[in-house]
């Protein structure tokens, strides 16, 4: 193993304190950071809320050069970049929808050493220009977030991640840190192999056990009544997960009618609506948020007391991540899954829907190409705003078209990005002298330029800065279109880079269009993925239906963390305790019926197969219930 510079660990702690305000790392974070600083390839498994980003951001600041971060989640990339910029750390992200000038400016700054962090999607890695740029960029660290996406045995496989191995040949000097919240042993080994880890790579795993989190899976014919009962029994903030957008509003309205302060959240809302709802929930103005799985990523609210699923997730990985958003403050919290017979049948149907017939997938591919008017051999890396509902309506397709699109994405032909808010940004590329000359030559634009500098200052020269055209229009007593047109005019004259806001879902065409009947679908891969999905549904079903095995043990064993110790707080453990208590109470009565007036030690000897920790409180309870009498250090039945 390589040895770090002796000063590096001290510097890491100084950076943690300076930028994050923490005096020390969380458990395992320090070990992961030390491994990365020692130039080891490192795999870190930290549960949701475990502080994964610090594990690459701190060493990224310690090591010389750029930290290149690969992440599949655009919203999370943007959030982390904004958080770094707020800490006055130079960071940018390359996402679809950017102008070529904006992308070039970011890559120029990365190459010239003006950035410490560059976030990119895995799809970017294939671009020749991007790869050429990397050869001349000092890369100090390669960080792979959501690393399970590289494994076809994982639950969220992204084929673009497979290009990372080639990327490593372009930057062989940079150590690689891969991070994920959930991975079985098979997936861990696959990550290391697919990322071309060196033989001495290190793996750090935090236990998947959560001592403060009580898991329950409850079969019920009336989920809404049970939901209401739980929320009335357990005070505090809650997340309620459902499968589709329509249900979020229905359940939130039901709870509101029952005098429980609730709201709903899903990816179809505008960014303004999502921000407002999220902020209200974080600040405890809303108690319950009813959401699809679009909610929660990157949100660190420590005092969530309950996470309740009204629909069964497709796999334990997804359930563990979502349930794990409860109790991050390490106080008692509850993860409850409500299910019925219909859920079990729907899970099987979902498998069939999720893996359409290959001919249907090819049909959807061709109609998609026609929808965007892409000629055979053209379209590679083209980006389109994409309304999936409109596409389905135009071609009279059924809802299975969504799964055909997801299959095309899994096989690397397209990339689908959910709607996310890409706010308007502006960056002055002209220096102050050039800008002044432009102002003199275009005197009508002078008020707008001065107002930009007054509102946003020197940041406009250092990085793409979020601006608000409506605010500018209000101050200048004009309208939004006028301000936008002026900014576009300035961009055309190379004074600035201007990226107007975009709230649309997008589709990226990954390959030149194949001629009809020539799309090379990987049939064996489809069969393997379907079998894997079946196995994951079976594991999820087994988790729901188990009535005796400790639920924490079920989760730990699924993630290859052998465990036979009961957690003592899940529904099955509590049922077991209750049953043991009932059996022991009956046995105490039988013993004292046969042998009245026994001392505590004599009772223990007669009941030696039972745990003393269970016996002592039970004896006290039976005395309180006036079933036993304790006199002169002897126990007897009340009736004797």
pLDDT at 317: 93
Is 269 found in the same domain as 176? no
Q: How confident is the model at residue 378 (pLDDT cuts 50, 70, 90)?
A: very high
Which residue segment(s) compose the domain that 236 sits in?
A: 213-339+534-558
Edge-to-edge order in the sheet of strand 176-180: 91-94, 117-120, 66-70, 139-144, 176-180, 42-45, 202-205
Within a domain: 222: yes
The domain spanning residue 601 has which CATH number?
Answer: 1.10.10.10
Q: What is the DSSP letter of 28?
A: T
The rounded distance, in Å, linking the Cα atoms of 635 and 627 is 11
Residue 472 lies in a domain: yes
Q: Domain total for the chain?
A: 5
Same domain, yes or no, for 484 and 452?
Answer: yes
pLDDT of residue 65: 95
Report the pLDDT value the prediction gives residue 238, as an integer from 0 to 100: 97
For residue 9, the model assigns a pLDDT of 67
Same domain assignment for residues 249 and 311: yes
- Does pLDDT of 513 surpass 70? yes
**Domain assignment present for 516:** yes
In a domain, 18, yes or no: yes
Percentage helix, strand, coil for the chain under 3-state DSSP, each rounded to 5: 50, 15, 35
pLDDT tier at 77, thresholds 50, 70, 90 = confident
Same domain, 231 and 110: no
User: Does 468 or 423 have the greater pLDDT score?
Assistant: 468
- Residue 208, Cα to own-chain centre: how many angstroms? 16
Over the stretch 196-245, which tens digit does the pLDDT of each residue have?
999 999 999 988 999 999 999 999 999 999 999 999 999 999 999 999 89
Residues 412 and 437 in one domain: no
Integer-rounded Cα radius of gyration of the chain:
29
Q: Is the pLDDT of residue 640 over 60?
A: no
CA 58 to each of CA 89, 160, 507: distance values in angstroms, whole numbers, following the listed order: 11, 26, 34
Q: Does 188 lie in the same domain as 49?
A: yes
Looking at residue 2, its pLDDT comes to 46
Quick one: average pLDDT of 175-202?
93
Asked if residues 581 and 573 have their Cβ atoms less than 8 Å apart, the reply is: no
Q: What is the pLDDT of residues 303-338, one digit of tens each?
A: 999 999 999 998 999 999 999 999 999 999 999 999
What does the H/E/C string look like for 59-128?
Answer: HHHHCCCEEEEECCCHHHHHHHHHHHHHCCCCEEEECCCCCHHHHHHHHHHHHCCCCCEEEECHHHHHCH
- Alpha carbon distance 390, 401 (integer Å): 12
Give the pair of three-digit tokens for residue 84.
């770094």
User: Is residue 224 domain-shared with residue 292, that is, in the same domain?
Assistant: yes
Q: Is the pLDDT of residue 47 over 50?
A: yes
527 lies in a domain? no
Beta strands 465-466 and 425-428: pairing type? antiparallel
Give the model confidence (pLDDT) of 131-170 as tens digits: 889 889 999 999 999 999 998 887 788 888 888 999 999 9
pLDDT tens per residue, range 86-145? 999 999 998 766 778 888 899 999 999 999 999 998 888 888 888 889 889 999 999 999
- The verdict on 131 and 113 lying in the same domain is yes
pLDDT of residue 343: 84
Mean pLDDT of 357-382: 93
User: Three-state DSSP class for 522?
Assistant: coil
What whole-number percentage of the chain has pLDDT above 70? Answer: 97
Instruction: Give residue 418's pLDDT.
Output: 66
Based on the fold, state whether residues 242 and 369 are members of the same structural domain. no
Segments of 463-520 assigned E as strands? 465-466, 496-499, 506-509
- Is it the case that residue 6 has pLDDT exceeding 60? no
Q: What is the mean pLDDT of residues 504-508?
A: 83
Say what percent of the chain tops pLDDT 90.
56
How deeply is 628 buried, as exposed, middle or buried, from its count of CB atoms within 10 A (0-12, 13-18, 19+)? buried
Average pLDDT of the chain to the nearest whole number: 89
Residue closest to 404 by CA, chosen among 354, 439, 447: 354
Taking the alpha carbons at both ends of the chain, their separation in whole angstroms is 73
The Cα-based distances of 593 to 376, 414, 553, 598, 625 in angstroms read 89, 76, 39, 11, 17
Same domain for 246 and 108: no
Whole-number pLDDT of residue 168: 92
Q: Is residue 429 part of a domain?
A: yes
Distance CA(64)–CA(139), nearest Å, equals 8
Q: Where does a domain end: 205, 234, 264?
A: 205
Is 1 among the domain residues?
A: no
In the block, tokens 């935090």 appear at 206
The average pLDDT across 361-372 equals 95
Same domain flag for 248 and 150:
no
pLDDT, tens only, 535-586: 999 999 999 999 999 999 999 999 999 888 899 899 999 998 888 788 888 8
Greatest Cα pair distance, the chain, in angstroms, is 109
Q: In angstroms, what CA-CA distances link 24 with 44, 53, 115, 614?
A: 18, 15, 26, 39
Rounded Cα–Cα distance for residues 602 and 599 (Å): 5
Contact 57, 69 (CB under 8 A): no
CA dist 47 and 117 (Å) reads 23
Domain annotation covers residue 565:
no
**477's tokens:** 């007593």
User: For residue 297, what is the domain's CATH number?
Assistant: 3.40.50.300
The pLDDT of residue 7 is 59
Same domain, 494 and 509: no
Query: For the domain that residue 402 is a member of, what is the CATH number?
Result: 1.10.10
- In the structure, what pLDDT confidence band is assigned to residue 421 with cuts at 50, 70 and 90? low
| CB of 304 closer than 8 Å to CB of 239 | yes
């Amino acid at each position: 193993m390589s040895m770090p510079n002796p000063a590096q660990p001290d510097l890491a702690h100084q950076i943690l304190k300076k930028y994050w305000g923490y005096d020390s790392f969380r458990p395992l974070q320090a070990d992961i950071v030390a491994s990365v600083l020692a130039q080891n390839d490192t795999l870190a498994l930290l549960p949701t809320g475990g502080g994964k980003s610090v594990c690459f951001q701190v060493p990224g600041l310690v090591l010389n050069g750029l930290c290149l971060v690969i992440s599949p989640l655009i919203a999370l990339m943007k959030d982390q970049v904004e958080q770094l910029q707020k800490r006055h750390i130079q960071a940018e992200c390359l996402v679809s929808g950017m102008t070529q000038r904006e992308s070039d400016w970011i890559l120029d700054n990365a190459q010239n050493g003006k950035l410490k962090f560059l976030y990119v999607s895995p799809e970017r890695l294939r671009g020749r220009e991007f790869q050429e740029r990397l050869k001349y960029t000092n890369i100090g660290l390669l960080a792979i977030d959501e690393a399970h996406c590289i494994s076809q045995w994982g639950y969220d496989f992204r084929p673009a991640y497979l290009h990372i191995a080639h990327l490593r040949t372009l930057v062989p000097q940079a150590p690689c840190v891969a991070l994920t919240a959930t991975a079985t042993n098979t997936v861990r080994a696959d990550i290391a192999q697919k990322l071309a880890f060196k033989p001495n790579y290190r793996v750090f795993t935090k236990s998947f056990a959560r001592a403060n989190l009580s898991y329950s899976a409850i079969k019920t014919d009336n989920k809404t009544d049970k939901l209401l009962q739980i929320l009335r029994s357990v005070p505090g903030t809650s997340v309620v997960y459902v499968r589709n957008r329509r249900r979020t509003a229905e359940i939130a309205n039901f709870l509101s009618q029952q005098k429980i302060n609730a709201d709903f959240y899903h990816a179809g809302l505008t960014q303004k609506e999502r921000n407002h709802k999220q902020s209200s929930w974080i600040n405890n103005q809303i108690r319950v948020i009813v959401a699809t799985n679009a909610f929660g990523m990157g949100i660190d609210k420590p005092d969530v007391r309950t996470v309740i699923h009204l629909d069964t997730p497709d796999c334990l990985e997804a359930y563990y991540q979502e349930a794990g958003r409860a109790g991050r403050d390490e106080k008692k919290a509850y993860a409850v899954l409500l299910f019925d017979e219909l859920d079990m049948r729907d899970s099987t149907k979902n498998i069939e829907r999720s893996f359409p017939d290959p001919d249907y997938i090819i049909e959807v591919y061709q109609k998609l190409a026609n929808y965007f008017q892409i000629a055979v051999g053209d379209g590679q890396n083209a980006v389109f705003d994409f309304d999936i509902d409109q596409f389905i309506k135009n071609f009279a397709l059924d809802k299975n078209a969504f799964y055909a699109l997801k299959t095309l994405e899994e096989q690397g032909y397209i990339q689908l990005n959910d709607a996310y808010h890409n706010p308007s940004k502006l960056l002055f590329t002209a220096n102050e002298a050039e800008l002044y000359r432009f102002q003199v030559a275009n005197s009508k634009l002078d008020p707008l330029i001065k107002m930009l500098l007054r509102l946003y200052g020197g940041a406009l020269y250092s990085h793409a800065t979020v601006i608000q055209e409506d605010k500018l229009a209000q101050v200048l007593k004009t309208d939004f279109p006028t301000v936008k047109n002026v900014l576009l005019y300035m961009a055309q004259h190379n004074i600035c880079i201007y990226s107007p806001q975009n709230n649309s879902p997008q589709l990226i065409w990954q390959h030149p269009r194949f001629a009809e009947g020539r799309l090379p679908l990987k049939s064996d891969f489809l069969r393997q993925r379907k079998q894997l999905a079946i196995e994951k549904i079976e594991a999820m079903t087994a988790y729901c239906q188990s009535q005796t095995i400790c639920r924490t043990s079920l989760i730990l064993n699924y993630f290859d963390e052998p465990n036979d110790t009961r957690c003592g707080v899940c529904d099955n453990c509590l049922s077991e305790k209750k049953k043991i208590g009932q059996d022991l109470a009956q046995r105490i009565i039988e013993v004292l019926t046969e042998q009245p007036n026994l001392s505590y030690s004599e009772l223990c000897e007669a009941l030696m197969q039972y745990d003393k920790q269970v016996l002592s409180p039970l004896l006290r309870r039976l005395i309180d219930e006036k079933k036993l009498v304790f006199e002169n250090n002897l126990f007897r039945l009340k009736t004797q």
